[in-house]
Structure 1
């Protein structure tokens, strides 16, 4: 079994939901972050990073992208290399064995400091459970190069088994 596990697959197939369900069942201490939609007038207008570690109010739930069309988001420049790095550093410093990274993808392609922080996290003693967008990106290349990362694809047909796959991986 690999030290780190990332779920990939089409959008809205249930990758993040599987991780949330696993966390509620396992009742495991964890750190890291999740990406949350920014909703205005009942529509998704962008996404924000929500750290599981305590950060200053101005640094948590900071907007990382703005919706600019159907399935098109524009990255807010500099957020990953500043706040994103701080979130990863807080996760590495936390006592939790498990770090949640929900999610990684193309938005991080122009964030070299954030990419370096993710690499340091993967090299640390922490185990990482995350979501990887099903797109070619610098982050997908980084994870595919590593022997300690397993990437499994979740589809609608097998998404109900995703929590079992995560549990098996975690028990090792």
Structure 2
């Protein structure tokens, strides 16, 4: 049985929302890591920010960014992403690691990609989201035998939420020693 639980689905289907609900239901004290949120201005998505579970946040992508690293129309601030993401997921062996998301913006960081590849070999329990479309580096991560991927749709939202909560509660973190 895998110990890496990842949600995937089309953009704006609710992956981060489900992730946050799972954290809330199980208890934030059992998690470490980060999630991303859209930045919306006048009903238009203009960027993304990263938020660590300890409350630190920063803009990591913006349409007006001058960054040379581009994903679609967004300039990506890799150093800000690394500053928060890497600190929030390292050295937390007794917690479930939250990674939202493994996507093109995030893997622009070679350091992050290397850490993800290490996690995929470890027994550390991971809860995250992963890019829906095909991408060579991300597709390789998706083939890991420890990874359970749940495709989220509007129709199965509550079922996936319940299933992942139940499966996380069956992990060794919640079993008597």
* TM bracket, shorter-chain basis: 0.7 to 0.9
TM-score, normalised to structure 1's length? Answer: 0.79
Any idea what SS the aligned residue of 2:98 has?
Answer: strand
Equivalent-residue separation in structure 2 for 1:157 and 1:81 (angstroms): 34
**Would the alpha carbon gap of residues 104 and 74 (structure 1) be closer, same or farther in structure 2, given more than 3 Å must change?**
same
> Is 1:65 the counterpart of 2:61 in the alignment?
yes
> Is 1:88 the counterpart of 2:89 in the alignment?
yes
Q: Does the Cα contact within 8 Å between 2:150 and 2:160 map onto a contact in 1? A: no
Instruction: After superposing the two structures, state which structure 1 stretch, 109-118 or 78-87, moved more.
Output: 78-87
Alignment of structure 1 residues 33-48 onto 2, 5 Å: 33-39=34-40, 44-48=45-49
Equivalent-residue separation in structure 2 for 1:116 and 1:82 (angstroms): 15
RMSD value, Cα: 2.5
Number of corresponding residues: 162
**Would the alpha carbon gap of residues 168 and 10 (structure 1) be closer, same or farther in structure 2, given more than 3 Å must change?**
same
> Is 1:10 the counterpart of 2:6 in the alignment?
no
Q: Does the Cα contact within 8 Å between 1:109 and 1:138 map onto a contact in 2? A: no
Equivalent-residue separation in structure 2 for 1:150 and 1:8 (angstroms): 10
Equivalent-residue separation in structure 2 for 1:126 and 1:110 (angstroms): 23
Q: Out of 123, 127, 130, which is 2:128 matched to?
A: 130
Equivalent-residue separation in structure 1 for 2:104 and 2:26 (angstroms): 30
Q: Does the Cα contact within 8 Å between 1:97 and 1:125 map onto a contact in 2? A: no
* Aligned equivalent of 2:145: 147
Consecutive unaligned residues of structure 1, counting only runs of 5 or more, are 55-59
Consecutive unaligned residues of structure 2, counting only runs of 5 or more, are 65-71, 171-177
Equivalent-residue separation in structure 1 for 2:136 and 2:79 (angstroms): 17
